[in-house]
Structure 1
Amino acid sequence: MTSQEEFFKSLVLEHQEMVVNTCYRFVFNREDAEDLAQEVFIEVYRSLDQFREEAKLSTWIYRIAVSKSLDHLRRMKRKKRFGSLKRLIGAEDPAEDIAAPSYDTPSETLVEKERSLVLQKALDTLPDSQKTAFLLSKQDGYSNQEIADILKTSVSAVESLVHRAKKNLHEKLYAYYANQ
């Protein structure tokens, strides 16, 4: 194994959990997150010679993970729109409507799963920039300066994005729970 391969192997081992968890926070599906993590590391491998040490390596990898996750979400939105169009014109595949088998779970698990779904739906309604800034801040604990570096924007823009995201989430969640 060459020294470059050794370096890349250690890089993957060091950052794999962070990358998978980052992707998961966007897609809420473990298999998709793991697939995206592979895409991230392929991109890292291909682009390693372009890394400029202006930021930390972990920040650069994180930025790629966020970008790949957002690209995945955009592709999924396009597929949903196309699926709706197929249903409208009657070209849908009946096999797509077969539900996965469900398993009985304790009521606490169901309540928690419902809360997660409600939050995920609310997050999905946010513009990508707000969602990304909010998740980086509130879920990952990054500072506004670190988020600004990741998103390549100013700290005041990050503060505004997080504030608007919180306001929008509050309105959506309040409306949902007020109707319960």
Structure 2
Amino acid sequence: MNELEHKAVSKVFATDKEQLIHELMNENGDAVLHLVFTYVKNQTIAEDLTQEIFIKCYEKLDQFKHQSSIKTWLYRIASNHCKDYLRSWHYRKLILNEKLLDYIPSKAKDVEVEVISKSEEESLTNAVMGLPVKYREVVVLHYYEELPLAEISKITSVNVNTIKTRLKRAKEILKEHLIEEV
């Protein structure tokens, strides 16, 4: 293949990649954002990480092996990216700063907490968001994203029986939490 043919093939592949990633973003952008938010609990950070995830998908699209659905592949990248972020120094520094700010009294913060605690749906959401990551991710993927256990297993690289155990334990924790609130 001469240089001109190689450039033409590269251009077609790049256009196809761009079209595919655009379709992925349109079809799965909100779901990925929601998944990312369940890890980081911050809308702005979730939006930034979601953009990074789609950039990473674009860059790694040629590595997709078609052994699972593209949605499963995308969720796995998102899950791993979030876990990497949660281990990062940037995240730890951010959490430390937030804990320091918690010691500063704020009337607006008290009002906000009262409003949030009055809604049952928001109470459940808060309880889910308070779960440890390993429980939160399976709850969100199974109940909110309505993914089957086998697909969650592929996304998280965790055995299906472990997924079942984590779902059971998450439900127990949520039940305890919600009973304490009443």
TM-score normalized by the length of structure 2:
0.70
1:35 aligns with 2:45: no
**Once the two structures are superposed, what CA deviation does each residue of 1:70-102 show, in whole Å capped at 9, x if it has no partner?**
3334447622664489x6xxxxxx8x9697x77
SS at match of 1:55: coil
Distance 1:131 1:173, change over 3 A: same
Partner of 2:130: 122
Partner of 2:62: 49
**Once the two structures are superposed, what CA deviation does each residue of 1:130-162 show, in whole Å capped at 9, x if it has no partner?**
221122112221111111111122221111111
Distance 1:148 1:115, change over 3 A: same
What amino acid maps onto 2:144 in structure 1?
Answer: Q
What amino acid maps onto 1:115 in structure 2?
Answer: S
Stretches of structure 1 lacking an aligned partner (at least 5 in a row): 88-93
Distance 1:35 1:98 in 2: 29
Partner of 2:4: none
Distance 2:98 2:33 in 1: 30
Partner of 2:118: 111
Partner of 2:5: none
**Aligned-pair CA distance for 1:47:** 1.4
Q: How does 1:95-174 map to 2 (within 5 A)?
A: 111-112=118-119, 115=123, 118-120=126-128, 122-123=130-131, 126=132, 128-174=133-179
Asked if the contact 1:137–1:143 (Cα under 8 Å) also holds between the matched residues in 2, the reply is yes
Partner of 2:181: 177
Asked if the contact 2:35–2:140 (Cα under 8 Å) also holds between the matched residues in 1, the reply is no
Distance 2:27 2:76 in 1: 16
Aligned residues: 164
RMSD over aligned Cα, in angstroms?
3.6
Partner of residue 79 from structure 1, selected from 89, 93, 96: 93
Asked if the contact 1:40–1:64 (Cα under 8 Å) also holds between the matched residues in 2, the reply is yes
Distance 1:73 1:110, change over 3 A: same
Asked if the contact 2:138–2:166 (Cα under 8 Å) also holds between the matched residues in 1, the reply is yes
For CA contacts below 8 A with separation 6 or more, give which structure has more relative contact order. Answer: 2
**Aligned-pair CA distance for 1:111:** 1.8
Identical counterparts, % of pairs: 26
Comparing both structures, which one devotes a greater share of its residues to helix? Answer: 2
Asked if the contact 2:134–2:166 (Cα under 8 Å) also holds between the matched residues in 1, the reply is yes
